[in-house]
């Protein structure tokens, strides 16, 4: 391609609305252009990178028999009503009506559509497995679009789906896709970690996010400092922190009128937060749920939601509800005598002794509260892991870091099949649910992540596999006929070998500008045709190194070709 004909509007200044490196560089290198908050268009350079990434993904998915489809982004509400997600998905879903008043959403994801297609065609076990994928725009009405293409209202997702006979078969598909996704991200040149995650699917244990560690990530991850355990804080586990068991003492009501916070209570009782049992009240549909964790812990709402199962709405209770449930002002909730529909007790509280808790009586707390003796409830893990907690696998300390999700694989299992009646007749004649696995990669976000990891002061440093061009030929002086002729010659010959992956910067203008642009847009190999030409030489410089190598004009095609295979 000729730079003179390309639409690559580069800029030197840092755009004022771009907070992070990848956003700045994508705008500055002319990869993307904003139309409105959270809405970006891919300009030709960005599109070339997208196409590279999509090719890698297609190739790897087709290798394991996933077949490409394309579903409309316009999805009738009926399908989402069947799955129960029409209301539950909430404000993030774009909804609209057609001229007859029929309701649709713009697909934020496509599980319903794929399940619908498969259930219509599959009747017998002989027709499974089925493996499908699509590369399609997804739409989410983000509350706070941010960071360029990282958090947007419309973005490209590769979503793949496996449909299997049994949980065992689904697990196999899932494990295979874990490898496939790793290979895809490896080939793109991304450094990532795999993180156990919440699937958003009740009771689905298998869920892995492929994340990069990044301060701008929306998630927190617990990472073991010793073994390779890492998990999204949403579902991370840890060993309980135990304290020496004291002798069980009799309960004692204490008047604490001025102690409004845990801090005040620590001072009042001369005990640190870990000695308190903190009670939070939630409303899950029409049920009141009391959750009790230690005073030094935060409740993990995702864990609570997964524990109580299928609910439409789940929120912290209003003050009025708290008063009703506790019979006291807000601030004095406790486990003893609370009028909740369910009482969930974190395992650390269940195993501790002589805790201090609210008395469900305005102005009072109770000392020496003990599980089973003084109150009962369902025991589980309802706490949020924090820095220094011990790894549930090896016991070493964990650290908490921020992470950004690039891809996600999970197992809805028969969740959609059950709601949407996607079944098959098994060999033994019984009707069984189809088991689904879901596998998603956000391609623009992957691009941004690659830039976050591959840049320097001059611009982007593309890995060869996804670079928009693999090599750029720069004639330094268009007035010198020899230079122009040789550069054009090298360009044409390279084109024969690597096709459209070679760019020639045939613009009039200084060599300095051309160098700056090729550094900014991050082309891995630069061939400069300049004054060394009188010795039959041109200069080769790699984007990720400061070294310059002089090579003979006659060998340039061969050298470049070898370099490309070496760097691939």
Q: How far is the CB of 270 from a second copy (least distance, A)?
A: 48
CA angle 540, 543, 544 (to 5 degrees): 120
User: Contact at 8 Å (CB) between 446 and 190?
Assistant: yes
464 Cβ neighbours under 8 A, 6+ residues apart: 189, 470, 524, 564, 567, 568
For the chain, the C-alpha Rg in angstroms (whole number) is 30
Three-state DSSP class for residue 414: coil
Residue 168, classified by CB atoms within 10 Å of its CB into exposed (0-12), middle (13-18) or buried (19+), is exposed
Q: How far is the CB of 264 from a second copy (least distance, A)?
A: 39
**75 vs 322 by CB, closer to a second copy:** 75
**70 vs 286 by CB, closer to a second copy:** 70
- Omega into 516 within 30° of 0, i.e. cis? no
**Given the rule CB under 8 A, which residues bind a second copy?**
2, 5-7, 9, 33, 35-36, 39-44, 47-48, 50-51, 62, 65, 67-76, 78-79, 91, 94-96, 98-99, 102, 106, 113, 116-117, 120-121, 130-132, 137, 139, 141, 143, 153-154, 156, 500
| Nearest-angstrom CA–CA distance, 135 and 474 | 35
**103 vs 171 by CB, closer to a second copy:** 103
| Nearest-angstrom CA–CA distance, 491 and 475 | 10
23 Cβ neighbours under 8 A, 6+ residues apart: 15, 147, 148, 149, 150, 448
Q: How far is the CB of 96 from a second copy (least distance, A)?
A: 4
**105 vs 281 by CB, closer to a second copy:** 105
**82 vs 202 by CB, closer to a second copy:** 82
Three-state DSSP class for residue 272: coil
| Sign of the CA dihedral with 26 first, then 29, 34, and 39 last | negative
Q: How far is the CB of 116 from a second copy (least distance, A)?
A: 7
Q: How far is the CB of 128 from a second copy (least distance, A)?
A: 10
Three-state DSSP class for residue 232: strand
**39 vs 550 by CB, closer to a second copy:** 39
**5 vs 479 by CB, closer to a second copy:** 5
User: Contact at 8 Å (CB) between 456 and 543?
Assistant: no
User: Contact at 8 Å (CB) between 22 and 448?
Assistant: yes
**2 vs 339 by CB, closer to a second copy:** 2
Q: How far is the CB of 171 from a second copy (least distance, A)?
A: 19
Q: How far is the CB of 375 from a second copy (least distance, A)?
A: 42
**119 vs 367 by CB, closer to a second copy:** 119
**6 vs 284 by CB, closer to a second copy:** 6
Q: How far is the CB of 318 from a second copy (least distance, A)?
A: 23
Q: How far is the CB of 484 from a second copy (least distance, A)?
A: 19
CA angle 528, 530, 532 (to 5 degrees): 105
120 Cβ neighbours under 8 A, 6+ residues apart: none
User: Contact at 8 Å (CB) between 369 and 355?
Assistant: yes
| Nearest-angstrom CA–CA distance, 145 and 124 | 45
Q: How far is the CB of 396 from a second copy (least distance, A)?
A: 43
535 Cβ neighbours under 8 A, 6+ residues apart: none
CA atoms within 13 A on the CB side of 471: 30
| Nearest-angstrom CA–CA distance, 43 and 27 | 10
**132 vs 345 by CB, closer to a second copy:** 132
User: Contact at 8 Å (CB) between 409 and 181?
Assistant: yes
Q: How far is the CB of 470 from a second copy (least distance, A)?
A: 17
Three-state DSSP class for residue 404: strand
**137 vs 315 by CB, closer to a second copy:** 137
Other Cβ atoms closer than 10 A to 132: 19
Q: How far is the CB of 477 from a second copy (least distance, A)?
A: 19
Q: How far is the CB of 249 from a second copy (least distance, A)?
A: 53
> For 199-316, where are the alpha helices, taking DSSP H only?
262-269, 301-308
The CA dihedral of 322, 326, 327, 328, to the nearest 10 degrees, is: -70
**139 vs 174 by CB, closer to a second copy:** 139
Other Cβ atoms closer than 10 A to 527: 25
């Amino acid at each position: 391609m000729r730079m003179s004909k390309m639409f690559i509007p580069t800029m030197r200044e840092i755009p004022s609305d771009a907070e992070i490196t990848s956003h700045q560089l994508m705008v500055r290198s002319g990869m993307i252009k904003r139309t409105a908050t959270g809405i970006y268009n891919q300009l030709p350079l960005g599109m070339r990178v997208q196409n590279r990434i999509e090719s890698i993904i297609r190739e790897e998915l087709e290798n394991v028999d996933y077949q490409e489809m394309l579903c409309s982004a316009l999805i009738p509400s009926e399908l989402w009503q069947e799955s129960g997600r029409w209301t539950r998905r909430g404000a993030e879903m774009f909804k609209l009506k057609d001229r007859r008043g029929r309701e649709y959403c713009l697909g934020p994801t496509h599980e319903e559509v794929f399940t619908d297609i498969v259930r219509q065609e599959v009747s017998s076990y002989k027709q499974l497995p089925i493996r499908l994928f699509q590369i399609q725009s997804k739409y989410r009405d983000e509350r706070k679009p941010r960071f360029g293409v990282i958090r947007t209202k419309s973005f490209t997702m590769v979503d793949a789906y496996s449909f299997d006979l049994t949980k065992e078969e689904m697990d196999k598909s899932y494990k295979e896709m874990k490898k496939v996704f790793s290979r895809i991200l490896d080939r793109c040149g991304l450094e990532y970690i795999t993180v156990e995650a919440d699937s958003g699917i009740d009771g689905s244990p298998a869920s892995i996010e492929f994340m990069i560690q990044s301060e701008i990530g929306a998630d927190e991850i617990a990472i073991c400092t010793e073994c390779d355990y890492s998990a999204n804080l949403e579902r991370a586990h840890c060993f309980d922190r135990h304290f020496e068991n004291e002798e069980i003492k009799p309960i004692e009501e204490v008047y604490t009128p001025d102690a409004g916070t845990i801090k005040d209570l620590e001072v009042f009782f001369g005990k640190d937060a870990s000695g308190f049992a903190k009670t939070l009240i939630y409303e899950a549909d029409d049920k009141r749920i009391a959750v009790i964790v230690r005073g030094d812990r935060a409740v993990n709402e995702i864990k609570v939601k997964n524990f109580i199962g299928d609910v439409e709405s789940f929120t912290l209770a209003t003050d009025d509800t708290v008063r009703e449930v506790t019979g006291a002002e807000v601030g004095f909730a406790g486990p003893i005598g609370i009028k909740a529909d369910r009482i969930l007790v974190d395992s650390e509280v269940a195993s501790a002794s002589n805790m201090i808790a609210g008395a469900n009586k305005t102005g009072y707390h109770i000392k020496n509260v003990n599980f089973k003796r003084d109150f009962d409830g369902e025991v589980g893990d309802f706490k949020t892991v924090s820095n220094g907690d011990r790894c549930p696998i090896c016991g070493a300390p964990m650290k908490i870091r921020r992470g950004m999700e690039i891809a996600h694989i999970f197992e809805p299992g028969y969740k959609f099949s059950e709601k949407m009646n996607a079944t098959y007749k098994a060999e033994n004649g019984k009707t069984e649910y189809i088991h689904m696995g879901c596998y998603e990669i956000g391609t623009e976000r992957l691009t941004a992540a690659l830039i976050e990891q591959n840049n320097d002061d001059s611009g982007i440093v593309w890995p060869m596999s996804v670079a928009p061009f693999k090599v750029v030929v720069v004639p330094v002086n268009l007035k010198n006929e020899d230079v122009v002729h040789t550069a054009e010659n090298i360009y044409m010959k390279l084109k024969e070998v690597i096709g459209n992956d070679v760019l020639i910067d045939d613009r009039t203008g200084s060599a300095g500008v051309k160098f700056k642009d090729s550094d900014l847009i991050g082309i891995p190999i630069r061939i400069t045709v300049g004054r060394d030409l009188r010795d039959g030489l041109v200069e080769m410089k790699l984007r990720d190194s400061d070294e310059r190598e002089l090579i003979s004009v006659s060998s340039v095609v061969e050298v470049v070709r070898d370099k490309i295979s070496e760097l691939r």
